[in-house]
């Protein structure tokens, strides 16, 4: 009897395997597949080895990868070993420059080579990019390098976040820079996948961190800035002629410019008035700037040292409709 029982053991295991492969495996796999579908896993596949499941597919984040695994592990009769979780999550990347300091965060594939903009120096404390075998490079990452070079080229604080197929742009900008950056970002992830949160300034010369390149002497630069800061030319609503009461400001500005080095250059910008249509407001701003340039020339400032410009709407500090002189 004992010998007969021992001989039956392999036979019983064989028939149990047939039963599992014939009915139970398909039922358990179908249950797991239903779970993955309800959890939104893309390209999901399931393999059953007895009661052990191996799942694969794509989810939006590492957190979702672990959450889905927990749900599968709760299916009655199914075990999900740690090595059975082969779900892949999209990586993400954030690059920020704030006050001249760089930081980089994200989760990327192990073999991904991170390319930072030229001049970016990231210290160890500000670099937090984890590597994972279960992460795929985020959509658009391979087209991001050229955009980053342009986005971080000028002064100002700003950041880029690439996550879940979307590109978020934040920071200091002008209306012109904003339009250029949005167009370039649309080539990376598509126009509908670009989000923005910009602080607009009237011109590149107003961006935080802008450093004039035609006046290097700090004392001289501060003197000029102090003179121009208090000497914004105020116009009557809708008028392009410089009021007689404002001509003294222009005379003092000319004296300061002529006292500075001959290599110094200046932009004379008309701030766009808050009222009126955009095209008409810009034309008015430019004509006012040209009027101030004309008086500066009459006071002896060489034409080649001056540039009339339009300062767009943005953080103008209450100077809408005024004309302001800045060092280039």
34, 84: one domain:
yes
Average pLDDT, the chain: 89
Domain-terminating residue out of 35, 62, 89: 89
Task: Give the pLDDT confidence score for residue 14 in this predicted structure.
Answer: 46
Q: What percent of the chain shows pLDDT beyond 90?
A: 72
Residue 185 pLDDT: 97
Specify the pLDDT at position 16: 52
Residue 133, domain member (yes or no): yes
Distances (CA, A) of 104 to 21, 98, 121, 197, 306: 50, 11, 10, 19, 40
pLDDT tier for residue 139 given thresholds of 50, 70 and 90: confident
In a domain, 1, yes or no: no
Based on the domain organization, do 218 and 313 belong to the same domain?
yes
CATH number at residue 186: 3.40.1520
Contact between 73 and 65 (Cβ < 8 Å): no
Instruction: Let me know how long the chain is.
Output: 328
User: Over 50: is that where the pLDDT of 233 sits?
Assistant: yes
Least confident of 119-123, 125-129, 207-211, 318-322: 318-322
Q: Are residues 104 and 177 in the same domain?
A: yes
Mean pLDDT for the stretch of residues 52-79: 93
Residue 5: inside a domain, yes or no? no
Same domain, 167 and 272: no
Contact 80, 68 (CB under 8 A): no
Report the range of poorest mean pLDDT among 96-105, 212-221, 269-278.
Answer: 269-278
pLDDT of residue 9: 45
> From CA 125, how far away is CA 148, in angstroms rounded?
22
Which residue among 63, 89, 115 closes a domain? 89
CATH number at residue 308: 3.30.1330.60
Tell me how far apart the alpha carbons of residues 171 and 133 are, in angstroms, rounded to a whole number: 33
Question: Can you tell me the mean pLDDT for 107-111?
Answer: 90
Return the pLDDT at 61: 86
When pLDDT is cut at 50, 70 and 90, the band that residue 320 belongs to is confident
Classify residue 7: in a domain, yes or no.
no
Question: Sign (positive/negative) of CA torsion 220, 221, 227, 230?
Answer: negative
- Whether residue 66 is contained in a domain is answered as yes
Give the model's confidence band at 2: pLDDT under 50 very low, under 70 low, under 90 confident, else very high: very low
Containing domain of residue 182, as a range? 91-201
Using the structure block, give the residue that is written with the tokens 């896993």.
Answer: 41
Integer Cα distance of 173 and 177 in angstroms? 6
Report residue 195's pLDDT band, with 50, 70 and 90 as the boundaries: very high
Question: Per DSSP, what are the bridge partners of residue 103?
Answer: 96
Tell me which of 89, 105, 129 is where a domain ends: 89
C-alpha to C-alpha distance for 324 and 328, rounded to whole angstroms: 12
Number of folded domains in the chain?
3
The answer to whether residues 117 and 190 belong to one domain is yes
In this predicted structure, the answer to whether residue 174 has a pLDDT above a threshold of 60 is yes
Q: Does residue 8 sit within a domain?
A: no
């Amino acid at each position: 009897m004992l010998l007969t029982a021992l001989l039956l053991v392999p036979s019983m295991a064989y028939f149990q395997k047939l039963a599992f492969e014939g009915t139970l495996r398909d039922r358990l796999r179908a249950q797991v597949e239903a779970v993955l579908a309800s959890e939104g896993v893309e390209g999901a596949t399931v393999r059953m080895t007895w009661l052990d499941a191996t799942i694969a597919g794509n989810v939006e984040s590492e957190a979702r990868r672990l959450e889905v695994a927990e749900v599968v592990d709760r299916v009655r009769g199914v075990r999900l070993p740690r090595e059975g979780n082969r779900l892949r999550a999209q990586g993400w990347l954030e690059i920020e420059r704030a006050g001249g300091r760089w930081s980089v965060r994200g989760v990327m594939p192990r073999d991904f080579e991170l390319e930072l903009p030229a001049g970016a120096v990231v210290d160890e404390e500000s670099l937090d990019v984890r590597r994972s075998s279960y992460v795929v490079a985020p959509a658009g990452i391979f087209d991001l390098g050229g955009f980053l070079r342009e986005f971080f080229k000028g002064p100002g604080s700003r950041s880029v976040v690439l996550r879940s197929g979307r590109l978020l742009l934040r920071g200091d900008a002008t209306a012109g820079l904003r339009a250029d950056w949005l167009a370039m970002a649309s080539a990376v992830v598509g126009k509908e996948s670009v989000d923005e949160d910009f602080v607009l300034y009237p011109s590149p010369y107003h961006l935080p961190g802008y450093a004039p390149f035609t006046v290097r002497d700090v004392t001289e630069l501060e003197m000029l800035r102090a003179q121009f800061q208090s000497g914004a030319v105020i116009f009557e609503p809708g008028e392009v002629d410089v009021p007689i009461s404002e001509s003294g400001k222009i005379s003092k500005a000319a004296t300061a410019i002529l006292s500075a080095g001959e290599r110094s250059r200046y932009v004379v910008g008309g701030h766009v008035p808050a009222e009126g249509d955009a095209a008409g407001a810009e034309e008015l701003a430019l004509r006012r700037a040209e009027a101030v340039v004309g008086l500066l020339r009459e006071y002896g400032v060489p034409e080649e040292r001056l540039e009339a410009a339009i300062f767009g709407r943005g953080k103008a500090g209450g100077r809408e409709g005024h004309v302001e002189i800045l060092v280039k």
